[in-house]
Amino acid sequence: MLVYLRLLKESFSFALNALRNNKLRTFLSLLGVTVGIFSIIAVLAAVDSLDKTITSQLSSLDSNTMYVANMSFGPTDVPRWQRETFDEVSYNEYKSIKSSVSEAEHVALQLFVKRENIRYESELVSSVNTVVVSHEFIDIQVMEFEKGRFYNESESNSGKAVVVIGSEIAKSLFGELEPIGKKVRLYGQKFTVIGVVKKEGSGLFGDSNDVSIFLPANYVRNRYGDNNPYMKYIVIVKPKKDADIEGLKAEVVQVMRNKRGLKPDEMDTFFISVISGLQDLIDTIIGSLNIIGWVISGFSLLVGGFGIANIMFVSVKERTNLIGIQKSLGAKNKFILFQFLFEAVILAVVGGVVGLFLVWIGTIIGNSFTEDFEFVLSPYNMALGFFISSIIGLISGVVPALRASRLDPVEAIRTGM
């Protein structure tokens, strides 16, 4: 063990000498490893950060939550022209699902409408993300409140002019004033602010709750009717705990087909999208991004490997005389082999460390510019960077190390003189 520790120490010393005595050559040779490790770990760190953020945002929803609409939220085999002929989901269909589907814990109605301006006295916030939903929405998507509450069933069913606003909207309209109970103007009418959603940060799937307002669906229905071409209806279904998801889906399909009077041989004229399917799609995209990162970085690592091999071939040539002396004094081939292998690994790890350092600097800079999206350099990715650089050094140093270990001591001393 002591012999190998001494061997490692000597190899480290030789590697430092290579870095010190041939700075430009070593820099150019290690640049490939540095760029390769930087590329791979940067991509992995960015994808991990994206995955973490997406998972965090989807965590407020049950993964089996279903969305019933005349459009699909994922890939579909139904051609676009045919999808465009499907009727919008209606309020009556929402009521039927709510009353008939036994495996559903909560069923909510959401209307997609155009953005609105919201005003308080002289303060105006333009083009606000307007979320028009029934009261069950709060039971499906977890929301925390900074102040106040969400509207209740009575307020929702009657279409009362109440509004829940995001933290950024509250700040823009009221500043330091107490927002609860204040009257704001929407749709040419005064609405009472009854709740302020707790700040949550930016969203990856559109506007976050911070810059959104929430209105009772029946207010908009009462004002514009159910046949307005500028509104899109979606029914959100949250299953009961331990519910049979396929059974629930079959129930929803049957209710929808009955309401639409579809014959057995006719296709569904609606789609049921499940959150878990969206998560699977996201996982596929993230996996593809990882593969692309590995492929692109692989070219840099290949160049870096050749650079390390070049350094080691030059090192063998420069130390031919020393190798001959070591062998004449009884050094075994294995000793010489490990000496050069350790040196190659150490050089590659130095390049890898520089690459990791650059990624770390990048995460700090990235986090300083993005308040709501956190870039993370995990210990796993750091360990992976060390491992990859070590493997590159090991592979690149094999041929030079074998050549050095097989030198004839007499010829090596003569050649080196």
Alpha helices in 141-244 (DSSP H): 153-158, 167-174, 217-224
> Is 408:77 a contact under the CB 8 Å cutoff?
no
Q: Could you tell me the pLDDT band of residue 365, with boundaries at 50, 70 and 90?
A: confident
Parallel/antiparallel/unpaired status of strands 123-133 and 212-216: parallel
> Is 106:136 a contact under the CB 8 Å cutoff?
yes
pLDDT at 170: 92
> Is 6:335 a contact under the CB 8 Å cutoff?
no
Q: Which residue has the higher pLDDT, 12 or 220?
A: 220
pLDDT digits (tens, 9 = 90+) for 84-115: 888 888 899 999 999 888 888 899 999 988 88
* Residue 167 to residue 386: CA distance in whole angstroms: 43
- For residue 323, pLDDT over 80 is answered with no
pLDDT at 203: 53
Say how many C-beta atoms besides its own lie within 10 A of residue 34's C-beta: 24
The answer to which of 13-22, 58-67, 175-184, 394-403 has the lowest mean pLDDT is 13-22
**How many percent of the chain have pLDDT more than 70?**
82
> Is 187:223 a contact under the CB 8 Å cutoff?
yes
**Mean pLDDT for the stretch of residues 231-242:** 88
- For residue 417, pLDDT over 60 is answered with no
**How many percent of the chain have pLDDT more than 90?**
23
> Is 134:105 a contact under the CB 8 Å cutoff?
no
Please tell me the pTM assigned to this model.
Answer: 0.62
Q: Which residue has the higher pLDDT, 268 or 207?
A: 268
- For residue 62, pLDDT over 60 is answered with no
pLDDT at 47: 75
Alpha helices in 76-216 (DSSP H): 80-83, 91-100, 137-140, 153-158, 167-174
pLDDT at 182: 92
Among 294, 314, 322, CA closest to 397: 314
The answer to which of 122-126, 207-211, 408-412 has the lowest mean pLDDT is 408-412
pLDDT at 1: 61
Backbone dihedral angles phi then psi of residue 116, each to the nearest 5 degrees? -125, 160
Taking the mean position of all CA atoms in its chain, how far away is CA 370? Answer: 15
